Structure 1
């Protein structure tokens, strides 16, 4: 904690430093009269809004800015937009700027500016969804899977070549991972997403957790002085059907902004699994068919109020409930060395599964002075709880299916409750020669999980204390950061940051009477440099250190039986892994992007499929068992081959080197992986679009595992009706049913295991989206007090 206090003492005096403000003023008028209520926006060189105001009754305006280069944007309903680049070195008067009236006289003019699908920023890639037809009627998880360089596979979200990524919404980290995170993302409509930021090397402001960086989902905000409602209905057909209904409402008037949404989904999907285990005495083959219920209901509420022109307060609430009950039929066949069937085990089970989570956020944002010093406070509360109740019976049979006896019968009941509180403060502090930001965050997490096992082989349930457990886990984290960026000249930009995180964890198994305590203090530096050689060529170099903390459930040492010959167990001694990430990138005309990256991983952990040869038992555990590096070359190309054809393409070459640091009786192997993606949008008319997407990833080896190929071919179609008030979309996803996990192979203790899983990725979807509202409601005053929020969100 001494280091934390020292860093705070170094940071606090910077609040007192400032620079003289420069005045930018002028007047806005038509050819005949001054114009009141014209919007004046000030953007930096990266195109981000940093300040703004509206003109007074006489058309005049005045803004205080620091020394630098800016773009000024002026807009008013019924007039043509005006833009001008300026270099501010002293007080400047722009004089009278005359706006031209639009030639088409309409009661309302909607100005549309088609955004680029991919935008490269200094420290992130921004993916705009509006051009992708296949996200219409979909959810946030499917939208993330269409983002460049991002892959969603087996409940894991990764950035190619980087590793597992954490997910944020509007800059706030979601305290969920794996299946729980994916279910939560499925409750968010893709139509509510403004864009997705892929931050492979996050700045010091963000949490250091996640070796694969961060995926930041930026949600849409309501347009000023308007209200809007969007209703969406969709139907997915795979082996079974899934219905989805969504409704989202936005209201923005004067100083008040409000949004609310509800989402409901019901139906079923099919999941098939296959596992082959080659034991010394013969093959054990398992196949499973599962019918999974997709039942979800979620809601969200957000409101913001401008206390003054400089201060905004706000509140957000999200609630998500899932009930993914499922029934499974598992068949296990045992063969001898002559490949003759010896016996069969049939395991039939039904699982009553449910989860719910609630997220609360309260925030305050205040602009301290005319120099754009801005202070924000956030308080967050998150609660997640789940239940798992599984009844099963496994019977043994002879090869001719003659009944032998009951192998195992029982009932698994488990519950988990996770609670998280976090508090953070962030300061944006511009100086004359550079920009500084700094802040602090505290986070407190408590997790309790219970496992009860009842043996029912006699027909009467009997609690087995040896297979029952209660596990408590606490994690506290304190962090401070400082980040500075400087535009050296028109060609060079530098950014450097440092984040200090202090973490304490305690895990206690009541059944085993075992407690594990960790306490570690770590520094996480970041560095970015960009060089704009000319209008066509930009180079960038970045570095960041990251940590990957284990999920709470992975630390529970208790065994959970999948069937009589297979169980999963956690590892209370599991430690975080660390990575040092380097990346060099080049952009040509903002359409051709090249990146070369290297990630050095230490104390790496992951799933290990091992076995007990004497009983032919499979064990799924987690170990810190490797160190190594991953490296790659990524090429992406944005092209407009014609006015009616827009194409986004990427090609990645990925490699790795792995060294096992734990005695797991296995040998590492690595190979090259090639991943190719092409997304093509065809404009068939003013209101009609066709989308054709294709992805292919070659088989590859990485450390302990070998993975088979993955590919997907998707076709989407969207028709706009009634001036885009109504949209009808059709999607055929994974037409050839080739995007599932296949041939997932490992060899441990001399036992080869090959696993495949198919979760109904092939489906067709019909979606209908209806938009209505009032784009210009009456206001009592035209106050630009929400400008702070607009700057915060990029709107």
Structure 2
């Protein structure tokens, strides 16, 4: 009851406030007639869209704005874009605005506007991926990996120097992490994406989940009163081949907007892994070669309908089905103290796996009154399921190849189901003194997983209850937030927010008869300050507190045996980790951006590879075992060296100071890390582009692990044909095969372990993209409900 009262206490004062506002109107025409159904957009000084309208049949428009400075932007197909700085202190009439037609005559030089690849906003970095040729025929995961300051490492999406990040699609959180999240992102076509927002310190409106912040994938909506279809066919060649077919369709007319996409993929990927453990008695070296099936089918439907000029309702549906079967050949060599081969194990296995997920969203957005108060509701349902059936046999051999015995033989059956249902309400409440936003969200998550193991070493399957388990987990979360945004003058802007999250979790292992319950109530404050010194220099300072909750699989206490002397287990007592994030940034002419940041982490958790030198066994466990800080300096430079050479460059210097809070027989090590990337687009002609990208990360140490260098050189080429309705693109990714995880070293109990993983990052891709549609379809006049009464007044 106290918690409910606290929620009401936070929200109640907000409904008692009022404000005054002013009217902005005008009329739009070309040199001949009025221009109807044209978008009029209002942006604040940070470039954020805060209001908008569509012109009526006579070209007129009207908006309600608070006192302040804004930019009016008017764009209509076939006309040059119009923008103007305005200051609202009273009712304002812009009068007649004449748009100029875009007319191209023979012999004229056509100069096309080019959106900047990187745009710096107050609280986020916007990456417009369409400028990068390497994203042609790619997917959402590869597009995120090309974003500045973002790297995908060990199935985790990280913002450099800040940690693991959660991913949203159009502002809606995806309830997946790790490998499952990456597989889901691979089903989304990059051609469906408008831009990617890197939000290193999100406001209180967003979930506090994600130490490194949030990455928001913004999908395309399609142009007004038009339809368009894009078909993409591509072929990737690594050791094996992968075929991909994608089709995206957009239709917008009057009050109705509809989009649909379908994606299909088939082929194989080669994965190589190595794990070396150096015992005193002699090293053990494991090599794994896996042939992974990339078979996948996915689709998306989205529609929005305007009930009135103030109210819109919409629905989205995404579905994905995969069959990622794989064959694995595992060889484990055991050496004596003289590093002579003593014996080896050959493990052959086949995994039949099926996975899928589906997402439903229903949303409603309505403007409550002429004061521009806006209320939105979202209902989301997400379901993920995975089933696999694995047969394997591991045989022991002497050094000369003589068969000794069967080390292990078995059959694993596993099922996992995750369901999430959430309800969210958000209110934008502009006032005379300050712009407020507030809202609430409730979320209900259930995860059921079971593992059944049959020992087949005798030839007859026998149930092994020690390797059979069912784990049920529930997590419920309730949250409220409030945020206030205040522009003091032309130079200063402040924003402060507070989010309160209440979480209840319950995990139960049936075979272990073990139940773990957690309840916690946490506050997450945020603060932003920005200062525009002049048109060339702007500064910002922000702070936010974040949480990183363990994924469902990490909380399952059951042991999964990798071999007879190696197993992995979860930890139901894992606690969430917290981070306090500080960042100061400076932008010069919007081409040079400098950021200085520091993240303080408490209750940090992660994977520990513990080798026992007495039993020659390995245990892979998860623990809250460290605290510390991550810090760094980042530079991003956008350059146009010539009209035909555009370049985006970044350089990060990162460091960490990690200390162990758990009794681990290991010594923490920390060092400097340097990350460099350069993305270069060369316009060889109006229809031909060449892309050359290069990234490099130095070796570095952080806490328990030391990681080797990574680098990648990528070259892409795109040719536009048939008046840009067709594109042919060619990409060679990671030419020198150096972008994979290599030499990941940890030393626990005096035993050195070295792990590497190569997932076929080197490949060549040929793709063909074909676009067709109608840029302007016939539209009907959008009459008001009181049209008859209006006529009677004339």
Task: Mark the CA change 1:393 to 1:500 in structure 2 (over 3 Å): closer, same or farther.
Answer: same
Task: Name the CA distance, whole Å, in 2 between partners of 1:77 and 1:511.
Answer: 65
- In the TM superposition, residue 70 of structure 1 has moved relative to its aligned partner by 1.5
How many residues are matched?
782
The answer to whether the Cα contact below 8 Å between 1:162 and 1:630 also exists between their aligned partners in 2 is yes
For 2:223, the equivalent position in structure 1 comes to: 223
Task: List aligned pairs for 1:499-648, cutoff 5 A.
Answer: 499-648=499-648
Match of 2:132 in 1: 132
Deviation for aligned residue 1:36: 4.0
Other-structure match for 2:187: 187
- Counterpart secondary structure, 2:130: helix
SS at match of 1:5: helix
Could you say which residue in structure 2 is the equivalent of 1:290?
290
Cross-structure match for 1:417: 417
Does the residue aligned with 1:116 lie in a helix, a strand or coil? coil
Q: Distance in 1 between matches of 2:723 and 2:101?
A: 23
Quick one: structure 1 residues 316 and 111, their matched pair in 2 at CA, closer, same or farther if it must change by over 3 Å?
farther
Q: Which residue in the other structure is 1:743 paired with?
A: 743
Judge conservation of contact 1:4–1:500 (CA < 8 Å) in 2. Answer: no
Equivalent position of 1:791 in the other structure = none
Q: How far off is 1:42 after superposition?
A: 2.1
User: 2: CA distance between counterparts of 1:737 and 1:671?
Assistant: 25
Q: Quote the residue 2:89 is aligned against.
A: 89
- Structure 1 unmatched ranges of 5 or more: 786-795
- Corresponding position of 2:123: 123
| Aligned position for 1:144 | 144
Counterpart contact for 1:37–1:782, Cα < 8 Å: no
Within 2, Cα distance between the matches of 1:784 and 1:460? 76
**Which residue matches 2:713?**
713
Is the contact between residue 20 and residue 431 of structure 2 (CA under 8 Å) also seen in structure 1? no
Alpha-carbon distance change, 400 to 35 in structure 1, aligned in 2, over 3 angstroms: closer
1:255–1:783 CA contact under 8 A, matched in 2: no
How many angstroms apart in 2 are the aligned matches of 1:414 and 1:36? 59
Deviates more, 1:142-151 or 1:93-102: 93-102
Residues 776 and 278 of structure 1: CA distance in aligned 2, closer, same or farther (over 3 Å): same
* Contact map agreement 2:249 2:259 (CA 8 A) in 1: yes
Separation (CA, whole Å) in 2 of partners of 1:303 and 1:53: 20
In the alignment, does 2:366 pair up with 1:366? yes
More displaced stretch, 706-715 vs 36-45:
36-45
Q: Distance in 2 between matches of 1:246 and 1:531?
A: 44
Q: 1:36 to 1:502 in 2, by over 3 A?
A: closer
**CA separation of 1:412 and 1:105: change in aligned 2, threshold 3 A:** same
Partners of 2:69 and 2:490 within 8 A in 1: no
Give the structure 1 partner of residue 770 of structure 2.
770
Deviations 1:418-472 (A, max 9, x none): 1111001000111112111000000000111101111111111100011100001
Task: From the superposition, tell whether residues 102 and 147 of structure 1 become closer, same or farther in structure 2 (CA, over 3 Å).
Answer: closer
* Aligned twin of 1:683: 683
How far the C-alpha of 1:359 sits from its partner, in A, is 0.5
| Alignment partners' CA distance in 1, 2:556 and 2:55 | 61
Label 1:149 to 1:370 Cα distance change in 2 as closer, same or farther (>3 A).
same
Distance 1:747 1:33, change over 3 A: closer
Q: Give the Cα separation in 2 of the matches to 1:714 and 1:325.
A: 29
Partner of 2:667: 667
SS for the counterpart of 2:203 is: coil
1:261 is matched with which residue? 261
- Quick one: distance in 1 between partners of 2:344 and 2:76? 75
Q: Which residue of 2 aligns with 1:401?
A: 401
Aligned to 2:315: 315
Q: How far apart, CA to CA, are the structure 2 residues paired with 1:706 and 1:56? A: 63
CA 52–616 in structure 1, closer or farther in 2 if over 3 Å, else same: same
The equivalences for 1:152-301 within 5 A come to 152-301=152-301
Shift of 1:78: 4.5
Q: 1:511 aligns to what SS in structure 2? A: coil
**2:733 aligns to what?**
733
C-alpha distance in 1 between matches for 2:497 and 2:567? 44
The within-5 A match list for 1:693-708 is 693-708=693-708
Q: Secondary structure at the match of 2:623?
A: strand
1:618 deviates by: 1.0
1:476/1:59 Cα in 2 relative to 1: closer, same or farther (>3 Å)?
Answer: closer
In the other structure, the counterpart of 2:758 is 758
Other-structure match for 1:792: none
**Per-residue Cα deviation, 1:637-684 (whole angstroms, up to 9, x for no partner):** 110011100001111111111111111211101011111101000000
Match of 2:349 in 1: 349
Cα distance, 1:782 vs structure 2: 4.8
Distance in 2, Cα, partners of 1:32 & 1:322? 56
Partner in structure 2 of residue 21 of structure 1: 21
CA offsets, 1:85-131, max 9 Å, x none? Answer: 1101001122233334444489xxx9963211101111110000111
How far the C-alpha of 1:220 sits from its partner, in A, is 0.3
Q: 1:4 Cα shift?
A: 4.7
Given the superposition, is the C-alpha separation of residues 702 and 77 from structure 1 closer, same or farther in structure 2, using an over 3 Å criterion? closer
Range with greater deviation from structure 2 (281-290 or 97-106): 97-106
Conserved 8 A contact 2:362-2:380: yes
Once the 2 structures are TM-superposed, how far is the Cα of residue 391 of structure 1 from its aligned partner?
Answer: 0.7
Task: Give yes or no for contact 1:28–1:97 (8 Å, CA) kept in 2.
Answer: yes
Q: Judging changes above 3 Å, is the alpha-carbon distance between structure 1 residues 721 and 612 closer, same or farther for their aligned structure 2 residues?
A: same
Offset of 1:588 from its aligned partner? Answer: 0.6
CA contact under 8 A between 2:57 and 2:781: conserved in structure 1? no
Contact 1:4–1:480 (8 Å) recurs in 2? no
Change (3 A) 1:209 1:74: closer
Q: Which moved more, 1:80-89 or 1:493-502?
A: 80-89
**Cα deviation 1:731-767 (Å, max 9, x = unaligned):** 0000000001110000111111001111100000001
Partner of 1:793: none
Q: 1:390 to 1:532 in 2, by over 3 A?
A: same
Taking structure 1 as reference, are residues 678 and 4 closer, same or farther at Cα in structure 2, changes over 3 Å only? farther
Change in 2 beyond 3 A, CA 1:381/1:784: farther
Please tell me whether the aligned partners of residues 254 and 783 of structure 1 are also in contact (alpha carbons under 8 angstroms).
no
**Offset at residue 60 of structure 1 (A):** 3.3
Q: Could you say which residue in structure 2 is the equivalent of 1:448?
A: 448
1:389 Cα deviation from its structure 2 partner: 1.3
Contact 2:655–2:672, Cα closer than 8 Å, also in 1 = yes
Q: Partner of 1:653 in structure 2?
A: 653
Pair 1:742–1:13, CA change in 2 (3 A): same
Q: Is the 8 A contact 1:53 1:784 kept in 2?
A: no
Range that drifts further, 517-526 or 78-87: 78-87
Cα separation, partners in 2 of 1:77 and 1:275, compared to 1, 3 Å: closer
Deviations 1:525-547 (A, max 9, x none): 00111111111111111111001
Cα distance in 2, alignment partners of residues 271 and 173 from structure 1 = 30
8 Å CA contact 2:700, 2:706 repeated in 1: yes
Cα distance in structure 2, aligned partners of 1:521 and 1:606: 23
Question: Are the counterparts in 2 of residues 8 and 480 from structure 1 also a CA contact under 8 Å?
Answer: no
In structure 2, what is the Cα distance between the partners aligned to 1:279 and 1:32? 85
TM-score by length of 1: 0.96
CA contact (8 A) 2:414 2:451 kept: yes
Question: CA 1:517/1:412 → structure 2, altered by over 3 Å: closer, same or farther?
Answer: same
CA distance in 1, matches of 2:783, 2:703: 59
1:57-95 residue CA offsets vs partner (Å, 9 max, x unmatched): 544332222211122223445444332211010011222
Q: State the distance in 2 between where 1:278 and 1:615 align.
A: 13
Q: Is the 8 A contact 1:586 1:593 kept in 2?
A: yes
Q: CA RMSD in A?
A: 1.6
Paired with 1:228 and 1:578, the residues of 2 have a C-alpha distance of 45
Cα deviation, residue 353, structure 1? 1.3
CA distance in 2, matches of 1:712, 1:111: 33
